[in-house]
């Protein structure tokens, strides 16, 4: 019974996020154009790099790097690599007090809502960019339904993980109120370590180790590698398990931090 209520509430939050995403059509179009231009620019530079590297850099050949670029652009509307969230705004203006009065868990409810928004944006941004990558960019996707299913799961996992970490950035506001600096820091670090610019496997050893010690590669590089079929069989299953481990870890940290923050919160004014 309680489980049914939980699912109903979180389902509602999810569809609220979905509807919100569908409201701002011009913004989605703008994002699409920006991602497409970056897709063409990055693909040309990275393909040239692959050619200069004798047909392979960091385990990517020309077709793999093209798929990497376009899938990365396609997921950018869903995976939160900018650190911004509605929650951060609500923390700052005090509306968080109202949120905390509700008999739902702040972390899971806002995650469900953001996941709705993020997955909706796959329609106006993800799908057209994948189509553009296939038609104009020379990208290929594996047709194996098993790979595609695991890839889709990995995309949802990466998106969820990205929000859960952004949630941590937002609830840091319990202590420091203005989280803009943290958001910017998150934006700079996450894109680089998630493999948005170049695959992290191209990094020198020490930097690769550093990247793999963070959840960021699990947000973008893993979904891309699984979906494009670059990782197969046991490797892809392992990569998805790493994603799930990060999600569990960040969920637990988020619960602890939210609990501590609740006791700390002081909202001024009436």
Partner 1 sequence: MAEHSRLRPYRVLLGARVRAQSSYRASFGLDLLTSLLIGLVELAEVWVLYRSVDGIGGLDLTAALLVFGLADTAFSIADLVVGHLDTLPQYLRAGTFDVFCLRPQPLLAQLVTSDISLRRLTRVAVGITVLTGALITADVPLTPENALLLLLALVAGTLICAGIFVAAAGAQFFLVDASEMTNAIVYGGRYASTHPAAVWSRPLVALFGFGVPMAFAGYLPTLTLLDLPTPWNLPGWAGWLAPLAALWTAVVAGLSWRLGTRHYQGGGG
Site residues (vs partner 1, CB under 8 A):
24, 26-27, 29-31, 33-34, 36-38, 40-42, 44-49, 52-53, 57-58, 181, 184-185, 188-189, 191-192, 197-198, 202-204, 207
Residue placing its CB nearer to partner 1 in the complex, 73 or 108? 73
**Which residue, 74 or 106, has its beta carbon nearer to partner 1?**
74
Which DSSP symbol is given to 85?
A: -
Beta-carbon neighbour count of residue 190 at 10 Å?
24
CB closer to partner 1, 25 vs 102: 25
Contact (Cβ atoms closer than 8 angstroms) between residue 147 and residue 226: yes
Question: What is the C-alpha to C-alpha distance for residues 85 and 179, in angstroms, rounded to an integer?
Answer: 11
CB of 212 to partner 1, least distance (A): 15
Q: Write down the least CB distance from residue 46 to partner 1, Å.
A: 8
| Closest separation in Å from C-beta 190 to partner 1 | 10
How many other CB atoms sit within 10 Å of the CB of residue 103? 6
Taking the complex as a whole, how short is the minimal distance between the CB of residue 42 and partner 1, in angstroms? Answer: 8
**Residue 153 or 192 with smaller CB distance to partner 1:** 192
CA angle 79, 84, 86 (to 5 degrees): 105
Minimum CB–partner distance for residue 96 and partner 1 (Å) = 22
Nearer to partner 1, 98 or 188 (CB): 188
- Of residues 36 and 115, the one with the C-beta less far from partner 1: 36
Q: What are phi and psi of 200, to 5 degrees?
A: -65, -20
112 vs 202, which CB is nearer to partner 1? 202
Q: Name the DSSP letter for residue 146.
A: H
CB of 16 to partner 1, least distance (A): 21
Tell me which residue has tokens 């609500």.
90
Least gap, CB of 168 to partner 1 (angstroms): 18
Q: Give how far the C-alpha of residue 261 lies from the chain's centroid of Cα atoms, to the nearest Å.
A: 25
- Helix residue ranges per DSSP H, the chain: 2-23, 25-52, 62-75, 86-93, 96-101, 106-120, 127-135, 145-171, 173-176, 180-194, 205-212, 216-219, 221-227, 233-264
């Amino acid at each position: 019974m309680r489980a049914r209520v939980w699912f109903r509430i979180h389902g509602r939050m999810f569809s609220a996020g979905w509807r919100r995403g569908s409201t701002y059509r011009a913004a989605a179009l703008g994002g699409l154009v920006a991602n497409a231009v970056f897709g063409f620019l990055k693909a040309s530079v990275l393909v040239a790099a692959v050619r200069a590297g004798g047909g392979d850099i960091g385990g990517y050949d020309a077709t793999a790097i093209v798929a990497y670029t376009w899938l990365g652009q396609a997921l950018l509307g869903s995976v939160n690599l900018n650190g911004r969230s509605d929650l951060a705004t609500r923390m700052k203006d005090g509306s968080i007090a109202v949120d905390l009065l509700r008999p739902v868990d702040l972390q899971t409810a806002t995650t469900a809502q953001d996941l709705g928004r993020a997955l909706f944006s796959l329609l106006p941004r993800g799908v057209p960019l994948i189509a553009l990558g296939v038609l104009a960019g020379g990208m290929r996707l594996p047709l194996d339904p098993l790979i595609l299913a695991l890839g889709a799961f990995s995309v949802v996992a990466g998106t969820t993980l990205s929000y859960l970490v952004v949630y941590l950035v937002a609830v840091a506001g319990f202590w420091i109120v203005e989280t803009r600096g943290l958001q910017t820091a998150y934006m700079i670090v996450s894109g680089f370590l998630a493999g948005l610019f170049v695959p992290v496997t191209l990094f020198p050893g020490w930097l690769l180790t550093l990247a793999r010690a963070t959840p960021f590669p699990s947000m973008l590089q893993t979904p891309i590698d699984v979906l494009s079929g670059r990782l197969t069989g046991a490797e892809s299953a392992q990569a998805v398990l790493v994603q799930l481990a990060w999600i569990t870890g960040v969920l637990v940290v988020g619960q602890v931090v939210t609990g501590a923050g609740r006791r700390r919160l002081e909202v001024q004014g009436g």
